[in-house]
Structure 1
């Protein structure tokens, strides 16, 4: 068989994830401190695990409705009302998905036609551009800069818009930079979009992880923006539920209806046990979020201070659980730095260019790990820098 002729050209053209490449290398080495994967080191809170166990004991092992359990959709709508003053109809404007990643995929496939341009704010999570390419859409990166707080500026957005622009991906709080968009920044972006038909995919998976006293503001909260916004969120980061694979999308009913249709054919429904567990998370686990956020905040300050002290200039992240220090003063490219650090000191971090070309010259380090791991990693990184 000539698989070069058989395989989809679009699939073959996709580059493998730069995150997973380093994770896989590190997994085969001894004594490695891996700070590469964005996964909480906390266990899922016990009450959530108990709810999942009880659902199994009661025999709740059948398919749910395609769009999700009705009680869960009701709780999602209630959560958004309670935390962000957003009103969504649980029956028609909420879709439960297999993680936030499926929600992103569904939104892009539902909204993007061949040739449509999708504006992707970078550096950002690795999936937006490949999914756009698989739909025959055209990814258009918009680079952000540390001097702007890695925020999308209205000037950069305005310069990127063309008659073919269909969708803006707004990934804040941001992975990998930790940058956030405050209300005034979102209002400036909204002003550019008014009078256009451009839709917005607002990836808010880190909405509960912001620091410094200011809570996250959803783009859909900005006047006139709800009708053009699909919000993606989930349970992996804020509730330490990565392995439960549960997320959701909310947005205008006509868009959610089409996303649900694709979801019906591709997935059927999200995991039943996970959905019952998520009902408990939304009902009773706000306090667990606060405890985890406080711990991340302490680790954030520890890592930023340590990196700056050793000479790796580090923008202070205000959201998510990553730092994005510059390694330009070493004279190495991001990939070379990460490979040499891994070989010399067995510390795995992710090259910044895995998150878009504008990430070159930086590396991503996750602080969703124990303090002992972070302290040992800082010691090894500093020792590595002294050899350069």
Structure 2
């Protein structure tokens, strides 16, 4: 931060520490030495990367993915999400977005001239879907459901019933589903991860948006991807050069090596799984704070409403702990009274623990001021 301190508000694994695996460094150096990386990739993405991802997706989902018909590379998942919506959304349409959710998911529909309609999720349900809340907000203008799976910011993994209920709702009302799966790579405690696109009747109406930023930990490479059926993909392919341009050729080469390095992905899993436990152990028992252990990814979501507003708590953490975390408010109406901490920051566990303890100290002071400490 410009004022000095640490950033734990940026969903960038191990930030700000170096974290490129040796397998990736090796191919990047070779690519620079050979000089080919100065040239464009195809606007829809390098074929070898699409083949590598197709195999990766097939292994995870069981879907048969044709690298030349079902997948497109994007400069990160942010652009992928907006690009996924563009063929379907016109001015005046409505997009249902669970709340809380990634802030861009509330904004993207508005950028396309549509109305975003938040659908509340509730802490007491572990943020699983109440389909009646979707039904209440359905209108003749509803065209799409856009959701994060696992959820950002809550880390919730939507259980099979939630996903099946949502997909039945989508099919019943002839909608499109965009599934933002940026955090899919690390699911903890043996929780089943259900891919919406594999469920009956969903392949033809689902766009799945993923990236190498979170699980693989290469946020700065700016490589995302979308997979969908060939009818949808034909439209995306046709617009790729105008909207996406082309992903970085050098990043593409690195991404192929990273995806093939399954040992690196497993090492990240072990490290991040330990990290979410450390965060929970240090923060969960603060008076006035409610916190569940993260179900996925690199985040922790804390209910701090008894200590003050999100703005107040974040301000105190900045001024006293010298740590920037996220206010819950940008994540939707249901985010008020919460903070999001990127617990996957820093490479060294002890460096992370030291920051967690600084956060704990400030929150304990706030609890003391409100007579919440016995």
Cα deviation for residue 250 of structure 1 reads: 0.7
Q: Which residue number in structure 2 is paired with residue 278 of structure 1? A: 255
Give the Å deviation of 1:345.
2.1
Q: Is 1:386 matched with 2:373?
A: no
Q: Secondary structure of the equivalent of 1:121?
A: strand
Q: Which residue of 1 aligns with 2:47?
A: 70
1:377 to 355, 361, 368: 355
- Shift in Å at residue 281 of structure 1? 2.1
Report what 1:365 is aligned to. Answer: 341
Say if 1:172 and 1:206, in contact at 8 Å, map to a contact too.
Answer: yes
Instruction: Give the C-alpha shift of residue 51 in structure 1.
Output: 1.8
The Cα offsets for residues 183-210 of structure 1, whole Å up to 9 and x where unpaired, read as 2321121222223220010011111111
- The answer for the alignment partner of 2:182 in structure 1 is 205
Question: SS in structure 2 opposite 1:329?
Answer: coil
State the partner residue of 1:297.
Answer: 273
Report if aligned partners of 1:106, 1:262 keep a CA contact under 8 Å in 2: no
C-alpha separation in 1, matches of 2:106 and 2:212:
23
- Provide the rounded CA distance (Å) in 2 between the counterparts of 1:145 and 1:228: 27
Q: Please state whether the residue corresponding to 2:319 is helix, strand or coil.
A: helix
Judged with a 3 Å threshold, the aligned counterparts in structure 2 of structure 1 residues 190 and 266 are, in CA distance, closer, same or farther, namely closer
TM-score when normalising by structure 2: 0.92
Moved more, 38-47 or 203-212: 38-47
Alpha carbons of 1:277 and 1:378: their partners in 2 closer, same or farther (altered >3 Å)?
closer
Q: Give the deviation of 1:374 after TM superposition.
A: 3.0
Partner secondary structure for residue 303 of structure 2: coil
Aligned-residue RMSD, C-alpha: 1.6
Aligned to 1:11: none
How far off is 1:215 after superposition? 4.6
User: In structure 1, what is the Cα distance between the partners aligned to 2:356 and 2:243?
Assistant: 44
1:192 and 2:169 aligned = yes
Q: Secondary structure at the match of 1:324?
A: strand
DSSP 3-state at the match of 2:290: coil
Structure 2 unaligned segments of length 5 or more: list them: 370-374
SS of equivalent to 1:288: helix
Does 2:83 match 1:106?
yes
TM-score (norm 1): 0.88
Query: Does the CA contact (< 8 Å) of 1:142 and 1:160 recur in 2?
Result: yes
For the residue of structure 1 that corresponds to 2:118, the secondary structure is strand
**Distance apart, 1:59 and its partner CA:** 2.3
Quote the residue 1:23 is aligned against. Answer: none
Q: Deviations over 1:188-242 (max 9, x none)?
A: 2122222322001001111111100235221112222111100001111121111
Aligned to 1:81: 58
Q: Is 2:128–2:159's contact at 8 Å kept on the other side of the alignment? A: no
- Aligned residue pairs total 359
